Structure 1
Amino acid sequence: MMRLRSIATLFLLALAAPSAAQAASQLRIGLQDDPDSLDPAQNWTYVGRHVLQSMCDKLVDIDANLNLVPMLATEWHWSDDAKTLTLTLRDHVKFQDGTPFDAAAVKFSLERELTMPGSRRKSEIEVIQSVDATGPLSVTIHLAKPSVPLLAAFADRPGMMVSPKAATEAGAQFAQHPVCVGPYRFVERVVQDHITLERDPDHWRAKDYAFDRIVFVPITDTSVRLTNLRSGQLDLIEQVLPTDMAQVKADKTLQGFEETGLGYSGMTFNVANGAKADNPAGKSAAVRKAISLAIDRDAINQVAFDGRFLAGNQPFPPGSPYYDAAFPVPKRDLAGARAALASAGVGPVTLELIIPTDPVRAQIGQMIQAMLAEAGITVNLVQSEFVTLLDRARRGDFQADLLAWSGRVDPDLNIAPLLGCGAAGNDGHYCSQGLEAALATARATPDPAVRKPAYAKAVAVLQNDLPIVYLYHTLWLYAAKAKLQGFKPLPDGIMRLDGVSMSP
């Protein structure tokens, strides 16, 4: 079935291939998955962030050195107690519907994220107590408690501002035709086929964007994405197989890009989200410890990723200043896994593991299945289309899943959105007061000397409870036509198209 779908995808792309006249003004990008909602308040997929980055400017952004830099906010200031954040906004900026971007629009967008049903941003910014438009271009944000990571959150989807007029008129249908401040505005979407954006000539940085149109094409088969790039049907692709990078770099018609990421991949367990949490792995940290010890992370890295990725066991990669060396990446320990399983006293363990449909994660799932079988744990693999998988996880219709988090600049944002009590992204409904206390201490100050020991406490809690068994940390791998100029990947893995062009 996968083979037939891959051939069909290639055929459809061939039919839709741009002419030579179109090529200079249209950029076709291959994505690993089809995004979920294109409403910044509701989106939860990594691939969705690629689309939103070109469509929706944020209050701040990051640079190559992970510094926060101005975007829609030109200046910011924290109060001494880190409970008030004041933003100065960029002047002469308009939304894609022609309405003005101002302090009232920021107040509207943030309050919408906090209150709208289905908002995925609420838990990321719920520390906000109130938002005041203190001038046409001045916003004062009052927090219930100190939270320095809030500004870093504004470098991602929480900082994407939407048109109050468009959002009010569209209501729950806003995702069908989103309107932001951004270099490219929404044109159309055909689910599982393509998303088309067109350049907004009135954008405040319109001159920095060369292409008239951007077309995002979801292709789950990594090899088919690369084949379409080689044949000229695509111009840029993400998530290249590590085993293909040597070939890409040896091909004079192509170029490859690598960038160290901020996130992780791992197994998330349902510990308290409905009836499916009632299973040995969901109820017992000892069983989850057995699972962690039975997995050979180095083998996964070598076989699936050609040794290019980093084995991991924490929310931060081993090179991060917040990685706790007191908990090194464990080597595979079958005896230890069997002992942990015996201590749980749960008898035979069977686990349903949901994995996405792409070949790489299917291979990793099969490796995990074989490894855990040697420890006496039966794993039943269930493949699911990506957005369906996310929906199942949110509803608690899972025992464990294999997913990735693309990572954020502030370490808090690699933990709290996914494991904080009540967080929208906390699919397993894990909740630990010890973790909450450690994160609260770290959020209260920008001082690394205070934050580092607080995150060490957080890591110790996670190592004991194992709501997520962390497996590896990725490199972001891209490939593009040799004629593509100016593309520079950043550590957050999100494609930015300013300064990108195609040579004749």
Structure 2
Amino acid sequence: MRPSPRLVAALAALPLALAACGGGGAGSTPAAPPSIADASADNRPVKGGGTLNIALNADPDALDPSISTTLVGREVFANMCEKLYDIDATATLVPQLAGALPEVSEDGKEVTIKLKEGVKFNDGTALDAEAVKKSLDRHRTWEKSARQADLAAVTKVTVVDPATIKLTLDRAFTPLTAQLADRAGMIMSPKALDAGGDNFGASPVCAGPYKFASRTSGSQIVLEKAPDYYDAAKVKLDKLVYKIIVDPNVRAANLKSGDVQVADQLATTTVKGVQSDPNLTVVSGGGLGYYGITINTGNVTGSTEKPGAVSTALGKSPELREAFELALDRDMINKTVYNGLHEVDCFPVPLDSPYRAQDLRCPKRDLAKAKQLVQASGVAVPIAVTLTSPNDATNVRLAQVIQQMTKEAGFNVSVQTAEFVSTLEQGKSGKFDVMLNGWSGRVDPDGNLTNLVTSRGSNNYSGMSDPGIDDPIKQAAAESDPAKRAELYAGALQKAAELRGVLYLYHNKYYLGMSKKVAGVQYFKDGLPRFVTAGFAA
């Protein structure tokens, strides 16, 4: 359905502050930047020494792998806290702190992992099987841990010998290796855990190319080269300084001025301006995650608690949620807010995933049907909706576009902004009506689903709870055949699409701006810049 002239005019009239800095307004589409794998300049040799200043788009939550939930936190961890496994440039799972891929028993319930030998934590403590067991047990059993769902299938961690652990599972769980390639597989110094306890994140110690040095809340995080890293000769930089720069225009401006040499998650409206600077380059990563609109349908006392009845119009009525979705034009949102640089979709599994059924389809904007559903609901028009949005300029603009689109269908959306981390807290506690929220994505689809749409998942902010979602996702996790897994996921995704606890808008593409003086950066589909081989070009 074509958008109405009135809507086009309304969107055109919205503030274009995002485009004011860096060139390229909403109607100017830049060329899509290449992935890092295609950026041949990144293969240049680098010299030793120096400090790399990196702009982060938000302040991470606690730097504790057991409780962290933010993408920016994962960006810092990527260079400080290695995992048992990682992904490579092709998004293939590879060993990191493990010495090889896991050995899995025939029934899938015993997983044996050999560890890389000679590894030390950044405090000099040896990384052995006992240390791995201590971290994994903390991830899966600590009441504050956000990793419990990631490792829910694991019932026991056994030390076989100093270089081998065995995980006993209550069911076959194919996504386990992928979970161990993220925060659930990060191994923390047992010495630092004993010293820090619940406050480990204030002075974290892991095994990685850089070690934690200091943090000034809301300002910066400093990492220093780790002398005890097992491959320290590969690491060239002396120091990484992560600077918290929320405003996308300021982030781009600091990159242009040289105050920072790398800027994460460039706003799509600043990409063209950065690309046009002869001293800078832009590369793309990400695509595993998504962004969308979460509607509170049952989260009354917290996402991990039993769902209950909510009192809001959208929360009570699937038909009104359908009307809200049909008032949205995803393609126009992508073009108007993001210069067309994201990948439009209405499901949480990426379009190119082998676990994505090909027959999944997204609804187009249908304002006439949306109005019919609103009228049939019997709720007085305009229907009040409170939309919670992170307070950065890009999200505020997205909220304004949603506000204008849904107004035509009979909704009166008021936008409430808050700091990014505050919106996450509101999501967890259920203290919201509708909110803008995303997920950075995982290489195995279970990581985009179980914790986010199944009953009482820690990130299931909507509070959705339905066996038509839960059961096939659980069955798919026990299945090793990709085609069978895709079929099971398709059923769960269709059911979730009917309930509309989350209206997915697009898959995030991340754009990393860099000085051309910087080389050796690794930037993959998870959108996490890795600086283990980075430095200033020789």
Which interval holds the TM-score relative to the shorter structure? over 0.9
Identity in percent: 37
Cα distance between partner residues in 1 of 2:236 and 2:316 = 53
Corresponding residue number in structure 2 for 1:295? 328
Q: 1:206 to 1:462 in 2, by over 3 A?
A: same
The offset of 1:487, in angstroms, is 1.8
| Aligned partner letter, 1:379 | V
Residue 248 of structure 2 contacts residue 270 of structure 2 at CA under 8 Å; is this kept in 1? Answer: no
The offset of 1:23, in angstroms, is 11
Work out whether 1:48 is the aligned partner of 2:81: no
CA root-mean-square deviation: 1.8
Equivalent residue in structure 2 for 1:359, among 379, 382, 393: 393
Cα distance between partner residues in 2 of 1:301 and 1:437 = 33
Partner-residue secondary structure (3-state), 1:73: coil
The offset of 1:260, in angstroms, is 4.8
Deviations 1:366-408 (A, max 9, x none): 0001111111011110111011111121111111110111110
Work out whether 1:337 is the aligned partner of 2:370: yes
Question: Which structure exhibits the higher relative contact order, with contacts defined as CA atoms closer than 8 Å and separated by 6 or more residues?
Answer: 2
Cα distance between partner residues in 1 of 2:277 and 2:509 = 20
Query: Which 10-residue stretch deviates more, 170-179 or 245-254?
Result: 245-254
What TM-score, normalized by structure 2, do the two folds share? 0.87
Work out whether 1:458 is the aligned partner of 2:492: yes
Corresponding residue number in structure 1 for 2:184? 158
Partner-residue secondary structure (3-state), 1:462: helix
5 Å-filtered alignment, 1:100-249, equals 100-249=126-275
Cα distance between partner residues in 2 of 1:97 and 1:201 = 9
Q: 1:96 to 1:371 in 2, by over 3 A?
A: same
Corresponding residue number in structure 1 for 2:355? 322
Cα distance between partner residues in 2 of 1:435 and 1:103 = 36
Query: Which 10-residue stretch deviates more, 436-445 or 190-199?
Result: 436-445
Deviations 1:117-138 (A, max 9, x none): 3211111111111111111111
Work out whether 1:374 is the aligned partner of 2:408: yes
Deviations 1:75-117 (A, max 9, x none): 2111112222110001111111221111111111111112223
Question: Which residues of structure 1 form unaligned runs of 5+?
Answer: 8-21
Deviations 1:413-461 (A, max 9, x none): 1111211222211222221111111012211122112111111111111
Q: 1:343 to 1:102 in 2, by over 3 A?
A: farther
Residue 60 of structure 1 contacts residue 159 of structure 1 at CA under 8 Å; is this kept in 2? Answer: yes
Corresponding residue number in structure 1 for 2:478? 444
Residue 254 of structure 1 contacts residue 479 of structure 1 at CA under 8 Å; is this kept in 2? Answer: yes
The offset of 1:209, in angstroms, is 1.6
Partner-residue secondary structure (3-state), 1:51: helix
Equivalent residue in structure 2 for 1:273, among 272, 288, 299: 299
Cα distance between partner residues in 2 of 1:101 and 1:277 = 48
Cα distance between partner residues in 2 of 1:115 and 1:323 = 32
Query: Which 10-residue stretch deviates more, 201-210 or 186-195?
Result: 201-210
Cα distance between partner residues in 2 of 1:454 and 1:74 = 32
Equivalent residue in structure 1 for 2:515, among 478, 481, 485: 481
Corresponding residue number in structure 2 for 1:16? none
Q: 1:293 to 1:142 in 2, by over 3 A?
A: same
Cα distance between partner residues in 1 of 2:486 and 2:93 = 20
Partner-residue secondary structure (3-state), 1:402: strand
Equivalent residue in structure 1 for 2:99, among 52, 56, 74: 74
5 Å-filtered alignment, 1:395-410, equals 395-410=429-444
Cα distance between partner residues in 2 of 1:483 and 1:169 = 40
Query: Which 10-residue stretch deviates more, 420-429 or 183-192?
Result: 420-429
Partner-residue secondary structure (3-state), 2:160: strand
Cα distance between partner residues in 1 of 2:357 and 2:399 = 27
Partner-residue secondary structure (3-state), 2:78: helix
Corresponding residue number in structure 1 for 2:35? none
Residue 123 of structure 2 contacts residue 228 of structure 2 at CA under 8 Å; is this kept in 1? Answer: no
How many corresponding residue pairs? Answer: 485
The offset of 1:280, in angstroms, is 1.5
Corresponding residue number in structure 1 for 2:338? 305
Question: Which residues of structure 2 form unaligned runs of 5+?
Answer: 1-16, 22-46, 302-308
Cα distance between partner residues in 2 of 1:213 and 1:277 = 49
Q: 1:375 to 1:211 in 2, by over 3 A?
A: same
Cα distance between partner residues in 1 of 2:64 and 2:159 = 23
Deviations 1:308-343 (A, max 9, x none): 211110012333333344332221111121223344
Partner-residue secondary structure (3-state), 2:149: helix
Cα distance between partner residues in 2 of 1:500 and 1:472 = 31
| Aligned partner letter, 1:479 | G
Cα distance between partner residues in 2 of 1:146 and 1:278 = 39
The offset of 1:223, in angstroms, is 0.8
Corresponding residue number in structure 2 for 1:37? 62
Work out whether 1:25 is the aligned partner of 2:50: yes
Deviations 1:257-301 (A, max 9, x none): 023511110011222222793212112222211111111111111
| Aligned partner letter, 1:442 | A
Q: 1:450 to 1:327 in 2, by over 3 A?
A: closer
Deviations 1:154-184 (A, max 9, x none): 1111010111221122112111101111111
Deviations 1:204-240 (A, max 9, x none): 1212221111111111111100100111110100111
What TM-score, normalized by structure 1, do the two folds share? 0.93
Cα distance between partner residues in 1 of 2:91 and 2:206 = 24
Equivalent residue in structure 1 for 2:282, among 247, 256, 281: 256
Partner-residue secondary structure (3-state), 1:122: coil
Residue 122 of structure 2 contacts residue 227 of structure 2 at CA under 8 Å; is this kept in 1? Answer: no
Residue 311 of structure 1 contacts residue 329 of structure 1 at CA under 8 Å; is this kept in 2? Answer: no
Deviations 1:6-50 (A, max 9, x none): x9xxxxxxxxxxxxxx99511110011000110000101111100
Cα distance between partner residues in 2 of 1:208 and 1:277 = 54
Cα distance between partner residues in 2 of 1:460 and 1:177 = 44
Cα distance between partner residues in 2 of 1:407 and 1:148 = 17
Residue 256 of structure 2 contacts residue 274 of structure 2 at CA under 8 Å; is this kept in 1? Answer: no
Residue 123 of structure 1 contacts residue 422 of structure 1 at CA under 8 Å; is this kept in 2? Answer: no
Cα distance between partner residues in 1 of 2:428 and 2:498 = 24
Cα distance between partner residues in 1 of 2:294 and 2:48 = 42
